[in-house]
Structure 1
Amino acid sequence: MPEKASAIGRSFFYSLFLKSSTQPILKLPTHFSTISSENDFKSVALETFQFQYKHVEVYRRFCQLLKVRPDTVSEIKQIPFLPIQFFKTETILTDGLQAEKTFNSSGTTGTITSQHYVADLEYYEISFLKAFQQFYGDAKEFAILALLPSYLERGGSSLVYMANRLISESKNLHSGFYLNNLTELIEKLKILEAKGQKTLLLGVSYALLDLIERQKFQLKHTIIMETGGMKGRREELIKSELHDILTEGFGVEKIHSEYGMTELLSQAYSKGNGIYQCPPWMKILTRDTEDALTYITGKTGGLNIIDLANTHSCSFIATQDLGKLQQDTTFEVMGRFDNSDIRGCNLMVL
């Protein structure tokens, strides 16, 4: 991650001032980037819960409906997780702050999309740059190719924002975005392979399938990373089937994956076999599908995500993804709940 004097300067600014000078000083939780142990994580998670209960109105009202008060919470599993559907209807943002950037989720025509109001983009940038460094090393070692047509076409994508910054960080003249110009991308991959250049191809699943239908590869210097989702362009496949097709088509041993979403500022990564790991400031819990307040390990449940980079929004989100958490904290993503647009919303009337 590049050094710069203002690396978390805007965070300090927010700790001193709110939009209105008549409001009290806003004391932020310990910055997520300092977390290096389980004890650190627990401490910052509890600080963040206290902060968001006090300063994020939607989350506070949700906790109050569940009759959870800050003075009753001393363990992570006592913290309420906000149903992700509220990002479709509410402004989830620290009181008194304004969004520096608003990210929008993808959606089919006529559906309501999520809005993530980000008060400080440096939180996002620090999160994805540090995570990439942790899992893959220096971006400068890579040529980074982004095949994200559906995301580029709609605008407001947090994934495109991340990919654009990583492309910039790579400093490689071959790095860049691809929309529908698959012939050009095929030639680029051939050039980079011939050079022996370490390359990352980040692509939405259906576009990667389109690519290997045009051209079969035998790639030795390229990581293929899928971001999931057919976006209505192809029939959905189970992850293992998708990866089998992609490994054969690209001639690689494993397919990597990125797990993130509009409502988060952090990503988990898989280096193969659909097994994901989180950076130190992100954690996955799995809730029982029949009892949202009971947690399970080793069998399929709903994914609850703690994202401590999401300081000015909500760090505790109950998603509609299904997954399986292992004792070593790695996890798999198994699919989605049915009727995910309506479940959980009856917990709160705003």
Structure 2
Amino acid sequence: MNINNSIFNIQSEADFKAIALDVFKFQFEHNSVYRSFCDLLYIHPSEVNSVEQIPFLPIEFFKTHTIVSTNKAAEATFTSSGTTGSVLSKHHVSDLEVYKQSFRSGFKSFYGNIENYTVLALLPSYLEREGSSLVYMANDMIEQSKQPESGFYLHDLEALKNTLIALEAKGQKTLLMGVSYALLDLIEAHSFKLKHTIIMETGGMKGQRKELVKSELHEILKQGFGVDSIHSEYGMTELLSQAYSKGNGVFDTPPWMKILTRDPEDALTIQPIGKSGGVNIVDLANINSCAFIATQDLGKMKPDGSFEILGRFDQSDIRGCNLMVL
């Protein structure tokens, strides 16, 4: 489907709606798992006139089925993190250029040119396994930054401390992306007063520490790094796009990504803005897999299109939708 350029050039709500409906029709025809799901719901593209009417595929399908809308072989298969023995989500990506275009354009729209930053990545739990889409993105950002100090830091917190201090001393704009527990490890060993560095947590204690409420985590990180705000990245294995927060846990999406919330008791009902519920994501960059996903997160939409993540469904249960036996 030759609409990739259209996806990354959306200028208005009307553009988004038109392309989303086109993508829905395309995936209904070319994604056998998604087509079966829509058929079970008795929903056909001829009857769908709004984004809210499009069926959202429960994210668990990425654990049990091959979700593709193309016959092209996968160039990469990204897998979710999980405990030993757990079933992992698999996202078969047939065109890595689409992924690169999505995360490069998305980052640029929020933060400007990556070449202006030194990119430091503190992602030990991701680096220590295969198939992380976040590591793929961070590695590309490190390469694109073209700064000699850019790189991954696995467990060498002393080297990371020294790099941060040196970059700060020369006023170099820096991005430190880190998993939450590793950032806490860093500030427990060293304290900072950073004026030129963005601290971006990518979520998760990954079983390494007790989970903290986001506001509490961010307060600790702000004090430890000496910064006014903690930025966040919201993404997942099953997506090719990311939302970003520049503080206070409020996220914004790039133009080709949109968040809706569904009724926690009725997975097929989209709620009005301002009401908390299950997070549904439209990610049009997922043109070759599924662009319409019902996640296990709970969130709340704001009138300007931004959103907050409030938590997750208990036991990762998406209630009201028992169509998992395709």
1:159-199 residue CA offsets vs partner (Å, 9 max, x unmatched) = 00000111111000000001001111001001000111000
Give the alignment's Cα RMSD to 1 decimal.
Answer: 1.3
Distance 1:229 1:344 in 2: 27
Cα deviation digits, residues 136-155 of structure 1 (max 9, x gap): 00011100000000000012
Residue by residue over 1:228-269, the C-alpha shift from the partner in whole angstroms, topping out at 9 and shown as x without a partner, is 100000001111011000000000000000000000000000
State the TM-score, normalizing by the size of structure 2. Answer: 0.97
User: What are the within-5 Å matches in structure 2 for residues 12-23 of structure 1?
Assistant: 15=1
CA distance in 1, matches of 2:262, 2:317: 18
- 2:201·2:233 contact (CA, 8 Å) conserved in 1? yes
**Are positions 1:315 and 2:291 aligned together?**
yes
Specify the code of the residue in structure 2 equivalent to 1:68: I
- Higher mean alpha-carbon deviation, 185-194 vs 88-97, is at 88-97
Q: What per-residue deviation string (whole Å, max 9, x for no partner) do you get for residues 213-238 of structure 1?
A: 00011101100000010000000111
**Which residue matches 2:185?**
210
Equivalent in the alignment of 2:63 = 88
How is 1:82-121 mapped onto 2 (pairs within 5 angstroms)?
82-121=57-96
State the one-letter code of the partner of 2:303.
Answer: Q
**5+ long unaligned stretches in structure 1:** 1-14, 16-26
Instruction: Determine the C-alpha separation between the residues in 2 that align with 1:290 and 1:342.
Output: 9
- Could you tell me how far 1:293 is from its partner in structure 2? 2.2
Q: Secondary structure of the equivalent of 1:329? A: coil
Distance (Å, rounded) in 2 between the aligned partners of 1:238 and 1:150: 20
Write the letter of the residue equivalent to 1:54: E
Question: What is the deviation of 1:89?
Answer: 0.8
Secondary structure of 2:34's match? helix
Q: Once the 2 structures are TM-superposed, how far is the Cα of residue 348 of structure 1 from its aligned partner?
A: 3.2
| Superposition map of 1:59-78 within 5 A | 59-78=34-53
Q: Cα distance, 1:34 vs. partner?
A: 1.9
- In structure 1, distance between residues paired with 2:139 and 2:130: 13
Instruction: Return closer, same or farther for 1:243/1:83 CA change in 2, 3 Å cut-off.
Output: same
Classify the secondary structure of the residue corresponding to 1:319: strand
Give 1:26-45 correspondences, 5 Å limit: 31-45=6-20
Task: Verify the 8 A CA contact 1:105 1:157 in the aligned structure 2.
Answer: yes
TM superposition shift of 1:290:
1.3
Number of the residue aligned with 1:53? 28
**Corresponding residue of 1:223:** 198
Separation in structure 2 between the aligned mates of residue 205 and residue 198 of structure 1, nearest angstrom: 21
User: 2:105 matched to 1:136?
Assistant: no
C-alpha distance in 2 between matches for 1:86 and 1:268: 22
Per the TM alignment, residue 329 of structure 1 is displaced from its structure 2 partner at its CA by: 0.6
Question: Which residue in the other structure is 1:156 paired with?
Answer: 131
Unaligned runs of 5+ in 2: none
**Tell me, what secondary structure is at the counterpart of 2:27?**
helix
CA distance in 1, matches of 2:320, 2:286: 21
Q: Does 1:126 align with 2:101?
A: yes
Retained in 1: the 8 A contact 2:117–2:145?
yes
Task: Report the residue type matching 2:309 in the other structure.
Answer: V
Moved over 6 A (4+): none
**CA offsets per residue over residues 266-295 of structure 1, 9 Å max, x none?**
000000000000000000001111122222
Question: 8 Å contact 2:10–2:256 — kept in the other structure?
Answer: yes
Q: Which of 168, 171, 193 is the matching residue for 2:143?
A: 168
Displacement, 1:349? 1.2
Letter in 2 for 1:253: D
CA distance in 2, matches of 1:348, 1:246: 40
CA contact (8 A) 1:83 1:344 kept: no
Q: Could you list the per-position Cα deviations for residues 280-320 of structure 1 after superposition, in whole angstroms to 9, with x for gaps in the alignment?
A: 00000011111222222213210000000000000000000
1:94-148: CA deviation from partner (whole Å, max 9, x where unpaired): 2422111100000011111100000100110000000111000001110000000
**Residue type of the partner of 1:138?**
N
1:245 aligned partner = 220
By how many angstroms is 1:321 displaced? Answer: 0.3
